Amino acid sequence: MKKLIFLSIFIFFILFSLSGCMKLLNLSLTPGIYVAGEWNNWIPTESDRMILKDGEYQYVLPVASITFLPGSQGNIGWYKVIYIEAGESKVQSSVPIWYENLLDATVVTIYASPNIMYDGYAVGAGDSEKMLGEWYCAGDFNSWSLAKMSKVGEKFVLTIDKEVNAGDSYYYKIARNTDWKPYEEQFDGKNYNAGYGQDALFIADKAGSSIVVEYDPKYSILRAYVK
């Protein structure tokens, strides 16, 4: 009985004393699409609003204002894109920026397309750092040995010659190097920093002789199809 009382007091304490704090801090941003990170303490202000340019939302982030910390390889900084609309908001999961891959770039351009964003996923927004350097792909279809993807336009593509039947399924993932490092930039089609067991799944919708994996770094879209 004593336990029960203690427990109820404890829960009461949690629910009503401190949770009130959060309500005081509700964001009062006008609808729009914003970028958050260490530079604004993850709370965007009007100056972090993305601008519609050439039909896409863009935000130019100076490299100097990103906080980079040592990662599994090199230094990693983080950001996320927040889309606020009356009644609905979509918050992207954190996206890494790999400092060493930027070489001498002084800015990172972040792109977003709010209608394909999905709350809690990284999908729908990406950046120029992801367009630099190499991407590798591994999956059930190539015994999980990371193979270099080739750059076709703005996308990274890997074609695997393999006889496929409709309904065949394959787990796969992309990474920056043949040793998966930096781990923070592994991507499973949903989130970056996709660790062990977090993979993309591809199910063949038709039969064919090759599988194509395609990654669009601009909007963090990873997909596969049968050719």
> Please, what is the minimum distance in Å from the beta carbon of residue 20 to other proteins?
10
Closest to other proteins by CB, 151 or 223: 223
The residues near 127 (Cβ < 8 Å, ≥ 6 apart) are 61, 79, 95, 97, 108, 109, 110, 111, 217
* 7 versus 52: smaller Cβ distance to other proteins: 7
What element of type H or E holds 22?
helix 19-24
* Binding footprint of other proteins on the chain (CB under 8 A): 3-4, 6-7, 10-11, 14, 18-19, 21-22, 24-27, 36-38, 41-43, 69-70, 72-74, 78, 80, 82, 84, 89, 91, 93-94, 116, 118-121, 123, 169, 171, 179, 181, 189-191, 193, 195-198, 200-203, 221, 223
Alpha carbon distances (Å) from 126 to 13, 77, 137, 141, 144: 41, 14, 18, 26, 25
Report the nearest approach of other proteins to the CB of residue 225 (Å): 11
Q: In terms of CB distance, is 16 or 53 closer to other proteins?
A: 16
Report the C-alpha gap between 86 and 78 in whole angstroms: 26
